[in-house]
Amino acid sequence: MKLFFRKLFVLFFVLFISIPIEAQDFQGKAYYMSKTDVDMSNFGRPDMSEDQKKRMAERLKSMFEKTYILSFNKIESIYKVEEQLEAPTAGRGGGFSNIMSGAIDGIKYKNVKSNQFLSEHELFGKLFLIKEDLQKMEWKMTGETKQIGSYTCFKATTIKTWQDFDISSLRRPPNRDENKADENKQPEPVTPKKVEVVAWYTMQIPVSQGPGDFWGLPGLILEVNTDKTTILCTKIVLNPSEKFTIKPPSKGKVVSKEEYVEIATEKYKEMRENFRRGGGGRR
């Protein structure tokens, strides 16, 4: 009898929380904080002082720790960096900061009904629009739960095939002989790598959306942990008073993910060479 009433309570609970989600004009906004651990051995010059390394670490931290907003409805979402007023960055990274932030931060659009994924990226002032299908994720439910704010979340894991440009190509070789040999070296093809993903989602918001290109669970994803990156939801606003419209991005040169990876990798290599010839980008 107790088991019967427990199942009945769960049924009523799910029906109760699903009522606002079924509305045709249902909308919501989720705010995420992203943090990435950076291997400092892949950046800078071998002769950098500890103070210089510390300043570069702080610069990288400001580029990799950002707040994002996921605006979503039942089938669509837009994920982008929260707009904030920032202090002038002149003399604090120049082209290095621009290429890093431009390559990482881009508007991402997902449509789980049409299986469409669009992503905007700006690289050296040029805008690209990557068009591809949503990558299907084979999630495995673990049965584990935890509380994130006022939401009960369930754990799911998957293995994601990740293809991106190699940031370690910015690493400066330790001596001039390696510099000379490296100049004549042909770019190596970018090999997709497999990364374990741990996600926490809540059935209290039963939409198949999440931050970045993560999706495919029976509830909104509130936390994602990958190899070196953690994305955590810090605030949720359901049915905000100010309604918004989700529009797919349409600006930029249309490319595939493979084409963009090749272009971005070459740009990184060019920037690395400029850093070498200009003494760290000061010229």
pLDDT 10s digits, 17-26: 444 555 558 9
Query: Using one digit for the tens of pLDDT, what is the confidence trace for 185-244?
Result: 555 555 667 889 999 999 999 999 999 999 999 999 999 999 888 999 999 999 999 899
CA dihedral of residues 245, 249, 251, 254 (deg, nearest 10): -160
> Is position 180 within any domain?
yes
Q: Would you state the pLDDT for residue 51?
A: 79
Using pLDDT thresholds of 50, 70 and 90, give the confidence band for residue 83. Answer: confident
Q: Would you state the pLDDT for residue 164?
A: 61
> Is position 170 within any domain?
yes
**What is the pTM (predicted TM-score) of this model?**
0.74
> Is position 282 within any domain?
no
> Is position 82 within any domain?
yes
> Is position 230 within any domain?
yes
Q: Would you state the pLDDT for residue 85?
A: 56
Domain extent for 71: 2-277
| DSSP state letter for 189 | P
State how far the alpha carbon of 188 is from the alpha carbons of 143, 169, 269, in Å.
42, 10, 11
Structurally, how many domains does the chain consist of? Answer: 1
Using pLDDT thresholds of 50, 70 and 90, give the confidence band for residue 7. Answer: very low
Using pLDDT thresholds of 50, 70 and 90, give the confidence band for residue 67. Answer: very high
Please report, as a single letter, which amino acid is at residue 251.
K
> Is position 197 within any domain?
yes
State how far the alpha carbon of 92 is from the alpha carbons of 120, 163, 224, in Å.
25, 29, 30
> Is position 236 within any domain?
yes
Rounded CA separation 243/77 (Å): 14
Instruction: Report the pLDDT averaged over residues 103-117.
Output: 87
